[in-house]
Chains A and B, each alone.
Chain A
């Protein structure tokens, strides 16, 4: 629709306030989308090793990430957060890359535990990827072996801060 003459914001507000129970909130779309994104991460149900046990505990009733709108999704096509919870072997590498590529934009990756960050104690093993950031871009690294649920929750809050304070609408990913 083409707006011919500019209507001052004040008059729009007055129009809305004439509606019964009418309220008006003004914001930028960028800020609004960011609010929606950080308020409901949908992580992929994806556990790799012992860190997955801690991740499951974090999602269960004692710590309950549902209060941040986070529920596990069974398909990468419905997810926007990939938690790499455990050792990434070289045979798992291409599979992780494929899962990441199946996720719709915008998407984020959280590397959980020392194995996912750098290979950990298995770094020099012939079968382990020394850090998942060699396969996919990582937003937040959560150290620990394994990280306690509080640490994972802190990492998720850090990711929320990162999205809220980011300058771009969408992350630029080098492919």
Chain B
């Protein structure tokens, strides 16, 4: 599926406007259609490679950014949504296996929970770590308790 065709299809199916760059589509989706859009990208648009998912702390809300790629056609799609700090998001790990560790990392550093994730626990930090260090509210000079 070419970029132009993908743009039209998303407009028709989800009524969302895309920003198109060379080989890349950027979409801002509402939180409710996060899962259905991902399913569409995986099976109909055939984005077979999961690049990353990450979060941006905007203090009053979190911006969730995910990027998937189609390695045959060399196209990519970056889809973004906004959630409140205490909200959860549906997992992408059922569509792309590569999202399992990526979502664990987002949970580890931002504290965002993913619904139906198979193994949502800390991945980089020790299991007894308190707090989520990449949040803006995390104090800068706070050291890990055993080595304070």
Contact = CB atoms under 8 A, between A and B. Distances in A.
Q: For the complex, would chain B's binding face be called helix, strand, loop or mixed by DSSP majority?
A: loop
A127 B125 contact: yes
Interface in A84-132: 90-91, 93, 124, 126-127, 129-130
B121 to A, nearest CB: 15
Interface string B117-148: 00000001110010001000010111110111
A118 to B, nearest CB: 12
Given A90-B126, A91-B126, A124 B146 contact: no
A130 B141 CA distance: 11
Given A90-B126, A91-B126, A129 B147 contact: yes
A126 B142 contact: yes
A126 B124 CA distance: 11
Interface residues of A, number: 10
A124 B141 contact: yes
B140 A124 contact: yes
Interface of A: 90-91, 93, 124, 126-127, 129-130, 134-135
A-B interface, 4 closest residue pairs, ranked by CB to CB distance from nearest: A126-B133, A129-B147, A90-B144, A134-B147
A90 B147 CA distance: 8
Q: Which of A90, A91, A93 gathers most chain B CB within 10 Å?
A: A90
A90 B140 CA distance: 16
Contacts of B144: 90, 126-127, 129
Nearest to B132: A126
A93 B146 contact: yes
B134 to A, nearest CB: 8
Contacts of A127: 124-125, 133, 144
Contacts of A134: 147-148
Contacts of A130: 143, 147
A129 B129 CA distance: 13
Among A90, A91, A126, A130, residue most surrounded by chain B Cβ atoms (within 10 Å):
A126
Given A93-B146, A93-B147, 17 more contacts: A90-B125, A90-B126, A90-B129, A90-B144, A90-B147, A91-B124, A124-B141, A126-B133, A126-B138, A126-B142, A126-B144, A127-B124, A127-B144, A129-B147, A130-B143, A134-B147, A134-B148
